[in-house]
Chain A
Amino acid sequence: MRVLVVDPDSARAALVTEGLAGVEPLDVRHCLFFDEAEAADFAPDVVVVAAESPDRDTLDSLKSSNAGALRPVVMFVDRSEPGLAEEAVHAGVAAYVVDGLATGRVRAVLEVAMTRFNLMRQLRTDLDKAKADLASRKTVERAKALIMKERGLDEEAAYRVLRKLSMDSGRPLATVASDFLAFAAVMKGGS
């Protein structure tokens, strides 16, 4: 497991190393401040950052700007702020926030964070795909309806027209349907 600990205080890195004793192979790197180039070079499985670290904004911005560099981030809250961990994770507002840091909990916490991160990433990918599928199905339906109306065909025949266009041009059905609708809109606009 490769762990990057971003913390002005070196005590936390020592705690993390101690808590992960027995994990093989293990590479815990401690840096006082987050350095994007260094992080990319190290390629950690998980990043541990103090919630009070000013570098949180840098890490947070990677979420939107650089999907390739995305890593699960575990944030440890030092000050006693009951509720932040649960509330934030529940609301999905923070990557992962955990109250306190005890040697005995380190391993479980990091493993849960990584599992959850991968799960969330999978869910997001699935959701994006589902959305895209739904959108293309709608486009095909609309194109089909238009062909039925314009040419007086039944549903199956209209579908065959689209499928033939798709096969002849070697392009996906949804793309052909989308072009067809755009073309129809232009013709309509011109009349």
Chain B
Amino acid sequence: MAEVSRIKLGFVPLNDAAALLVASQLGFFEAEGLDVELRREASWATVRDKLAAGLLDGAHILAPLTLAMTLGLGCEPTPMVAPFALNFGGAAITVAAHLAVSVGAGPGAEGLAALIARRRAEGASPLTFASVFPFSIHNYLLRDWLAGAGIDPDGDVRLTVAAPSRTAELLAGGVIEGFCAGEPWNEVAVMKGVGRVIAHAADIHADTPDKVFATTQAWAKDRPDALAALIRALARASAWSAQAANRSELARILAKDEAIGVDQTVIAASLDGIVFDGPGVNRPDPAQAAWLVGQMKRWNHLAPALDDRSIAAAVYRPDLYDAALKR
């Protein structure tokens, strides 16, 4: 039976919010009998707080943040469920244009390591790199990329947090020398001539889980029919987004002011690295969550003793996905 009350879903302006934006624009939510209102949010902290306070029913959210919320890292514990994974890949590391020659072509950070060593010998200040949130795949990818070239992420560089929409400006202003964020914000920095993409998520780790669609565990229990309908609409939108024939229409939808608000040509140029649909992409595999927990432990966000599997299984819920899609 169709649920009648209006459902409020939050998203942060990024390409990987496509499933929500497409489902809303093309009427896939309506087709499931849902009345959905999308709300554009400026920060992940606000998405987190509004989910916890019940002001959002569900959201496009950083996969590691759902684990952090459940465990009460950086906030009061709020048990979350992620019944639908939105994408693999789609993030990249960009360095400031003025450093592009010194750091080399990538995708490794060896050139950056040499630059850091040279700057240290000269007594220059450490370079600053931004990611989008402490509990984000972007933070972990950036750290992994740095560590892969022998750079200590906690000693050799300064790491900070910046909203994706601010990164190009911070690069231009010399506040940061590089960042890891989801598209289209790397492409925006490139188009403005202030940055150069040195590595894509897939260069660092294949099939990197990035964003999920999540609700609180309480909401999922309270509204099982609405949740199943949301999953079906998102699955349909993900399949639609993945089709090459729909690429320019997708770019047009994402470019809108109320969506991402970035020029359509920039969006179109930034859609290559992202996987919206395909085997194992949307079904939330607890093994992926366990891998994320491993990253959180590696970078001291979690105690080593924590049981990976139980937290992964509590948040990543393929059973809800399967039930909604009758698989």
Contacts and interface: CB of A to CB of B under 8 A. Distances in A.
A63 B161 CA distance: 12
A107 B160 CA distance: 31
B42 A56 contact: yes
A55 B166 contact: yes
A157 B153 CA distance: 51
B46 interface: yes
A83 B55 CA distance: 8
Nearest to B133: A57
Interface in A67-117: 81, 83-84, 87-88, 91-94, 97
Contact of A60 (B52, B74, B76, B169): B74
Contact of B53 (A53, A64, A88): A88
A57 to B, nearest CB: 4
B275 interface: no
Contacts of B43: 53-57, 60
B52 to A, nearest CB: 5
Contact of B175 (A35, A81, A97): A35
A87 B216 CA distance: 15
Given A81-B55, A83-B55, A87-B53, A54 B74 contact: no
A57 B161 contact: yes
A58 interface: yes
A101 B53 CA distance: 21
A83 B53 contact: yes
A65 to B, nearest CB: 7
Nearest to B51: A93
Instruction: Sort chain B's interface into a size bin.
Output: 20 to 34
Interface string A106-143: 00000000000000000000000000000000000000
Contact of A84 (B55, B134, B162, B169): B55
A169 interface: no
B158 to A, nearest CB: 9
Given A55-B163, A57-B132, A61-B133, A91 B76 contact: yes
Contacts of A33: 166, 169
A86 B295 CA distance: 34
Contact of A93 (B42, B44, B48, B134): B48
A36 interface: yes
Interface string A14-52: 000000000000000000010110000000000000011
Contacts of B163: 54-58
B165 interface: yes
B161 A84 contact: no
A92 B46 CA distance: 13
B143 to A, nearest CB: 13
Given A33-B166, A53-B42, A58 B48 contact: no
Contacts of B50: 84
Contact of A52 (B42, B48, B161): B42
23 contacts: A35-B175, A52-B42, A53-B42, A53-B43, A54-B43, A55-B43, A56-B45, A56-B163, A59-B45, A60-B44, A60-B45, A60-B74, A63-B74, A64-B73, A65-B134, A81-B55, A83-B54, A88-B52, A91-B52, A91-B78, A92-B75, A93-B49, A94-B49
Interface of A: 33, 35-36, 51-61, 63-65, 81, 83-84, 87-88, 91-94, 97
Interface of B: 42-46, 48-50, 52-55, 73-76, 78, 132-134, 160-163, 165-166, 169, 175
